[in-house]
Amino acid sequence: MPRVAIIGCGKIADQHVQAIHRIPGASIVAVCDREELMARQLAERFGIGGCFADAGEMLRVSSPDVVHVTTPPQSHHALGLQCLDAGSHVYIEKPFTVTAPEAESLIKLARQRGLNITAGHNYQFTPEMLAMRRLVGDGFLGGRPVHLESYWSYDLGDLNYVGPLLGNPNHWVRQLPGQLFHNLISHGVARLAEFLDEEIVELVATAHQSAYLRNLGGQDVMDELRVLIRDRFGTTASFCFSTQIKPGLNQFRICGTANSISVDLMSGSLVRHVNRSYKSYLTFLVPPMVNAREYIRNARRNAVDIFRQRLHQDSGMKELIDQFYGSITGRGPAPIPYREILLTARIMDAIFAQIHATAGRASIPVAARG
C-alpha cells in the first residue's frame, strides 16, 4: 500500500490524515507546508516523520507514492504538476483547479506519465451515493436521466470562516474567480457532471447576495446561486447553492423515464420513487406509506452500519481515498472519471463567467472540449 505525503497542513489536512489512518497498509511519510510551523504541528500531533516547508525538497527526500494536495486552490495546478513530474500520484482537494484549462493540463500530464490523479469530490462516495450509483447502473431509471437536481447549503453562522474573508479583500477565497462559490460548490456540481453529457447546450446562472451577508458587511461577495443546465441529449439539471435555507440541504434527485431516486446526504438516506399508480383515494394513502417504509429502511441500515462501525462522519472521504489507492495498485478503476472532473471544472467556469459578466440572465453555451 502506498506511502503518502500531504502538502498543505490547514484544517482539511486533519480529515485526510484520519481517513488515511483507517486504510490498512497506507502510511503517511511526510507533511509539507510553506508555513513550517503548520507542518510541524500536524507532524507532531500524528507522529509523522517527515516535516518540510518546501514541496520540492519533500518530493526529493521522501519520494511518496501519493501526494494529497490540501492547499488553497490557487496553488493546486502548480503543485499538481510538480508532484506528477516527481513521479507521484496526486489527490487534489476541491476545487480541483481554478480553471478548466488548468484541470486539462494536469490530467494530460498524468496520462503522459502513466500516473493517477483525482479530485476531492468525496461526497460522491458516501454510502447512499454509492447505493444510488448501483441502482442507476442496474437500470432503475429506465435509461438516460431526464432531470437532475442538486441542492448544496453552507451555513455562514460560523463567523470563523466568513469573518476573515469578508474583512480581507486579499483573502484567498476573495481572489478566486467565483469567490465564495468557487470554494464551496464543487461537490454540488460534481454530482450533476456525473450524469450530464460533456456537450452542454445551455446554462443559465443567477447569483445574488443574501440580506444576512449584506448585514455582515459582505461587500461584493455573493452567497446565493441558482443554475439551470441542459445537455445535448436533453437531460436538464438544476443546481441551488444557498447559505440561507434552513434546515441546510445536501440533496440530489435523479429522475428517469421509469423511476426516480432521491438522496439526502445530510441524513444518509436514499429513497426510491417507483412509478406506480393507485386507484382513487389510495393515491393519498399508499405512496406516503411506501415512502415511510423507505425511510425506515434507511434508518435501520444506518443503525446497523453505526453499530458495526462501518459508518463514519467522513465515510465518503475514506471511500474515495481507498478507491484511489486501489486504482494505483491495480485493484480497480479510477474512482472519478477524468471527464467528470473536467466537466465539473467547465461548468464552474461557465457559471462564474456568467454571473460576473451579466449578473445573471443571458444564456451562454458551454462548448465541449477534448
Partner 1 sequence: MSIQMPREFIVARTGRILVTGSNGFIGAKVVEILLEYGFSNLRCFVRPSSRLDRLNRVIQKFSAEKTVELVSGDLLSREDCARAADGVSVIYHLAAGFDKSFAGAFMNSALATRNLADAFLERGRPTRFVNVSSFAVYSNLTLGRRAPLDEDSPLEDAPQERYDAYGFGKLKQEELIRSYGQLRGLPYVILRPGAVFGPGKKDLTGRIGVDTFGFFIHIGGSNQLPLTFVDNCAEAIVLAGLVPDVNGEIFNVVDDELLTSAQFLKAYKKVKPLFSVRLPYAVAYGLSMAWEGYSRRSQGQLPPAFNRRRCAADWKGNRFSNRKLRDKLGWEPRIRMKDAMQQFLAQFSARSH
Any contact of residue 163 with partner 1 (CB under 8 A)?
yes
**Grid cell of 222 as nine digits:** 455573493
Stretch that binds partner 1, among 14-22, 97-105, 264-272, 278-286 (CB under 8 A): 14-22
CA angle (209, 214, 220) in 5-degree steps: 60
Tell the smallest beta-carbon distance from residue 312 to partner 1 (Å): 5
- If one asks whether residue 312 binds partner 1 (CB under 8 A), the answer comes out as yes
**Residues 120-159: x/- map of binding to partner 1 (CB under 8 A)?**
---------------------------------------x
- What is each CA distance from 112 to 84, 105, 108, in whole angstroms? 10, 10, 6
Shortest spacing between CB 160 and partner 1, in angstroms: 5
φ and ψ at 270, to 5 degrees? -130, 125
CA pair distance 72, 88, nearest whole angstrom: 20
Which residues sit opposite 271 in a β-bridge?
Answer: 262
Stretch binding partner 1 (CB under 8 A), from 120-128, 145-153, 308-316, 344-352: 308-316
For the window 73-112, what string marks contact with partner 1 as x by the rule CB under 8 A?
A: ----------------------------------------
Which part of the chain contacts partner 1 (CB under 8 A), choosing from 54-62, 165-173, 220-228, 267-275? Answer: 165-173
Taking CB under 8 A as the rule, does residue 164 contact partner 1? yes
Q: Does 60 help bind partner 1 (rule: CB under 8 A)?
A: no
Q: Assess 274 for contact with partner 1 (CB under 8 A).
A: no
Number of residues in contact with partner 1, rule: CB under 8 A? 28
49 binds partner 1 (CB under 8 A): no
Burial class from Cβ neighbours inside 10 Å (0-12, 13-18, 19+) for residue 45 reads exposed
Q: How far is CA 104 from the centre of its chain?
A: 18
- What's the closest the beta carbon of residue 42 comes to partner 1, in angstroms? 7
The letter for the amino acid at 258 is: A
Build a one-symbol-per-residue string for 179-218: x at contacts with partner 1 by CB under 8 A, - elsewhere: -------------------------------------xx-
- Of 184, 183, 188, give the one whose Cα is nearest residue 227: 188
CA nearest neighbour of 138 among 258, 236, 295: 258
Cα distances (Å, whole numbers) of residue 173 to 180, 224, 285 = 6, 16, 49
Instruction: Measure the CA dihedral 219/220/226/232, to 10°.
Output: -170
In the complex, which residues of this chain contact partner 1 (CB under 8 A)? 9-11, 13-14, 18, 21-22, 35, 37-38, 41-42, 45, 159-160, 163-164, 166-168, 216-217, 306, 309, 311-313
